[in-house]
Amino acid sequence: MSEVIPMFSHPVVTIDDYPDSEAIADRFFEKSLALMEEYPDAGLISSAWHSGQRARSREDIEKHGFTSFYNVNLGKREDFHFMNQAAMAVFAQYLRVVGKSNLGMRLDNAWASVYGKGHFVPEHTHPLSHLSMAFYAAATEGTGRIVFENPSRGHFQHFYPPEISWMHYRYSIQPKKGLFVVFPSYLVHHTEPHESDEYRVIYSANVQLQYRKPTDSDREGESTQSGIYQQV
Ligand SMILES: [Fe+2]
């Protein structure tokens, strides 16, 4: 018997059957278009993304695409509770799948992106977070895959050019409406250009896992826990 062992994977989890995902997608779509009106100085994506440019006109947004990333943390907005709540349930599902369901999480930030035709997001990671997600509120069929780079690529690409390599340089996922994609925040990724006249709308979020290594004092019980930093 032979067995292939996929050693040292970097798990990415997709969920396409979250309850009421169609309704959540439609609601987030509408609210994202409203954000575009609310924040005329929004961040830009595509070629303007790496330099952190902001819109000075509606034409800038039409040309490059929209992100609310610099304007507002949707994780703190009550009117986006429906979306944040679903996101936290999906992050919890990720932790269950990887066997770490005992860990606490804190929603760090969340934002909306709206792509028009030709828009994309260049290579990046989500620094200082542990887990990240994309939820596709609108995604025309067959366009703009999200592409993850193999973090081990630097170790093998010099000796294994693509023609002879059985180790993948990258892995692509085709978005569709209602799909959640959860991934470790350190994975380098980008999106291919959107090729439709219809908007593509994405909710993104980052969480930090809550963990501190227990000290001897913690184990000794509550008597030593009331310190000067305790809130009364
Ligand atoms: Fe990203």
Q: pLDDT by residue for the chain (232 residues), tens digit each? A: 999 998 899 999 999 999 999 999 999 999 999 999 999 999 999 999 999 999 999 999 999 999 999 999 999 999 999 999 999 999 999 999 999 999 999 999 999 999 999 999 999 999 999 999 999 999 988 889 999 999 999 888 889 988 999 999 999 999 999 999 999 999 999 999 999 999 999 999 999 999 888 898 888 875 544 445 544 4
Query: How much distance in Å is there from the Cα of 215 to the middle of ligand 1?
Result: 35
Cα-to-centroid distance, 47 and ligand 1 (Å) = 15
Are 132 and 182 within 8 A, CB to CB?
A: yes
* Domain assignment present for 169: no
First and final C-alpha spacing in the chain: 63
Q: How far is the CA of 212 from the centre of ligand 1 (A)?
A: 27
Q: Please give the distance of CA 216 from its chain centroid, rounded to a whole number.
A: 37
Q: How many domains does the chain have?
A: 1
| Residue at 77: amino acid letter | R
Which pLDDT does position 139 carry in this prediction? 94
Report the pLDDT value the prediction gives residue 222, as an integer from 0 to 100.
Answer: 58
Is 129 a domain residue? Answer: yes
Query: Cα(124) to centroid of ligand 1, in Å?
Result: 6
Please check whether residue 110 lies inside any domain of the structure: yes
Q: How far is the CA of 179 from the centre of ligand 1 (A)?
A: 15
For residue 227, the CA-to-ligand 1 centroid distance in Å is 40
Residue 114 domain-assigned (yes or no):
yes
How far, in Å, is the centroid of ligand 1 from the Cα of 185? 8
- Judged on CB neighbours under 10 Å (0-12, 13-18, 19+), 94 is buried
Domain annotation covers residue 105: yes
CATH code of 132's domain: 2.60.120.620
Confirm whether 3 is domain-assigned. Answer: no
Q: Is residue 89 in a domain?
A: yes
Residue 194 Cα to ligand 1 midpoint, Å, equals 15
Quick check: is 7 in a domain? no
CB of 201 closer than 8 Å to CB of 147: no
Distance 206 CA to ligand 1 centre (A): 9
Residue 125 CA, ligand 1 centroid: distance in Å: 6
Domain that holds residue 18: 13-145+176-212
Q: What pLDDT does residue 145 have?
A: 96
